[in-house]
Structure 1
Amino acid sequence: MLKPKRTAGSRDLAAIEMRRSLAQRIKELTEEPGEHLTPIPGLSLYHRTSPTPCFRASYEPGLSIFVQGRKRILLGGTEYLCDGWSFLLSSIDVPAQSQIIEASEKTPLLSIFLRLDMPMVREVLSRDDIPEGPPSAHRQGLVVGETTVGLLRAAMRMLELLDTPEDIPFLSPLAHREILYHILRTPQAGRLRAIATSGDLVQRTGRAISWLRENYAKPLHMEALASTARMGVSTLHHQFRALTGMSPLQYQKQLRLQTARLRMLMDGFNATTAAYEVGYESVSQFSREYSRFFGLPPIRDVKALKNVNTALESVV
């Protein structure tokens, strides 16, 4: 499990108070649970009041700052734990499984998501007065760090702009730069640099990921996928695994299984219909792979999920 390391004195009174203030501000701006888009470009606020089962999620290049609650994310066999003292930095659109594990009406999960403006990131990194940190040894598409007082204050200043919409066009880019500056002062700075300077190979791998997300039900031919990404098959395998922790075939399988699970849960599909819908030619193979991935056969798993959702709704 990857989670931010706690340092002595990291939870000082200033950080505790800043975190409380930020949580209160998010509550004021999000009266109802859910995702709330804001007038600030790329900025969304999240307010969740109950735990959730584990579902597929995608993470675009961005920064999530958590101030309350806990979330668990799985990517390629690696587990990331985010709590009220964490930020999550994501690179290209990576596939992951996400689960809220701590949230309630009284103490909801509250977080901020800021989509990274990559030209701005590169501009900030090009400044001579930004210290050059060590390169990132972490190559996957997600990394978790511990929020600092400076980062929390910068986030609060960005949220305060929502009170004066006329100031947003001029001041929101300044607030965005300030947030980037504080990320560059954390141990995860190398990962932000890697995202900004990863170059052509990562962008090409992103094209392969996008193709798979849009065409997961189609047969996978590695030569054709490599051609889409404009790289050799072995290079694509290497880059794909470095970013996602899995091979393209494993990624396609996860997309198929997670989509089938959602169709059965939300649309009432039976296992046979769901299997064919997501591209399986053999229902028995689908059932075997589903059981290995989720721990239960399709029908039992969906029934258990429905029981969990019913129980959560009765609590709320």
Structure 2
Amino acid sequence: MSIPAPPAGTRGMVLGEATVELLAPCCRMVQLLDAPQDVPFFGKLLQREIIYRLLQGTQGDRLRSVATLADQNHRTAKAVNWLRENYEKTVNVDDLASMTGMSRSTLHHHFRSLTAMSPLQFQKQLRLHAARQKMLTWELDAASAAFEVGYESPSQFNREYKRFFGQPPMRDIHALRASG
């Protein structure tokens, strides 16, 4: 069976309507947090159901394209996964391309097609979201959160955070806490 690639010019990320059939196993997955002893048994089953529901949804073709081993998107997904697991590390795009078996330009092309960002932009967003989460949950100050996620300069972190979230880190965190 040939898996069709997403149409040319489609965006790297998309939004879609969540169905009841998809939300039900997601809710059950969250409920497993109250019963950690059940995770080894039900966790994998629920993951499989969620994946099945996603593949049956409107973006199923796109997801199948990413998951297909013979496809360039699979190799790009390896880079995405590596960045998610190692966002705090310094990234050498040539090493990332080598790890995926692609040239630097091919990786950039496919990465942008899949995520609508370059690998470095993607890493920056991962770092900023992780820092925000750490400030909210661990009550870290901005400089500590910046270092935790791999920034070497707190002032650079503050500039990028403000540009991305619209206000300086601690003002944003205070606003989030006040609204929650």
Report the TM-score, using the length of structure 2 for normalisation: 0.70
Task: Check the 8 A contact 1:204/1:230 in 2, yes or no.
Answer: yes
1:65 aligned partner? none
1:213 pairs with 2:55: no
* 1:296 alignment partner, SS class: coil
Deviation at 1:140, TM superposition (A): 2.2
Q: Which residue of 2 aligns with 1:308?
A: 179
Distance of 2:18 and 2:130 partners within structure 1: 32
1:210 deviates by 1.0
How far apart are the structure 2 equivalents of 1:195 and 1:295? 32
The question of 1:285 aligning with 2:167 is answered: no
TM-fit CA distance, 1:214? 1.0
Aligned residues between the structures: 154
Q: CA deviation at 1:290?
A: 0.5
For residues 278 and 213 of structure 1, the distance between their equivalents in structure 2, rounded to whole angstroms, comes to 11
Tell me the residue number matched to 1:224.
95
SS in 1 for 2:163: helix
How many angstroms apart in 2 are the aligned matches of 1:279 and 1:135?
A: 34
2:134 aligned residue (235, 256, 263): 263
Q: CA deviation at 1:199?
A: 3.3
Take 2:18 and 2:86, find their aligned partners in 1: how far apart are those partners?
Answer: 37
Q: 1:134 to 1:245 in 2, by over 3 A?
A: closer
| Structure 1 counterpart SS, 2:162 | helix
Task: Measure, in 1, the Cα distance between the counterparts of 2:133 and 2:127.
Answer: 10
Partners of 2:97 and 2:166 in 1: how far apart? Answer: 32
Structure 2: state its 5+ residue gaps. 26-44
Distance in 1, Cα, partners of 2:144 & 2:5: 51
- Contact 2:66 2:74 survives alignment (8 Å): no
Q: Could you tell me how far 1:136 is from its partner in structure 2?
A: 2.9
Instruction: In structure 1, give the amino acid aligned to 2:119.
Output: P
| CA drift at 1:144 | 2.9
Are residue 299 (structure 1) and residue 170 (structure 2) matched? Answer: yes
Deviation at 1:191, TM superposition (A): 4.0
C-alpha deviations, 1:249-273, integer Å up to 9, x for none? 0001001111000000110100110
SS in 1 for 2:140: coil
**1:293 maps to amino acid:** F
Instruction: Name the CA distance, whole Å, in 2 between partners of 1:292 and 1:206.
Output: 27
Q: Between Structure 1 and Structure 2, which shows a larger proportion of strand residues?
A: 1
Amino acid at match of 2:7: S
The structure where helix makes up a greater share of residues is: 2
Q: 1:196 to 1:301 in 2, by over 3 A?
A: closer
Separation of aligned partners in 2, 1:285 and 1:226: 26
1:58-69 equivalences in 2 (<5 Å): none
The structure number with the bigger radius of gyration is 1
The verdict on how the C-alpha distance between 1:264 and 1:243 changes in structure 2, with shifts beyond 3 A counting, is same
1:94-243 equivalent positions in 2, closer than 5 A: 136-137=7-8, 138-142=10-14, 144=16, 155=21, 180=56, 191=62, 194-195=65-66, 199-243=70-114
Give the counterpart of 1:275 among 126, 132, 146.
146
Stretches (4+) displaced over 6 A? none
What RMSD, in angstroms, separates the aligned Cα atoms of the two structures? 3.5
Question: Tell me, what secondary structure is at the counterpart of 1:142?
Answer: coil
Aligned ranges 1:42-81 → 2 under 5 Å: none
In structure 2, the CA distance between the partners of 1:136 and 1:266, relative to structure 1 (3 Å rule), is same
CA contact (8 A) 2:67 2:73 kept: no
Contact residue 88 and residue 127 of structure 2 kept, 8 A:
yes
| Structure 1 residue 134: Cα displacement | 10
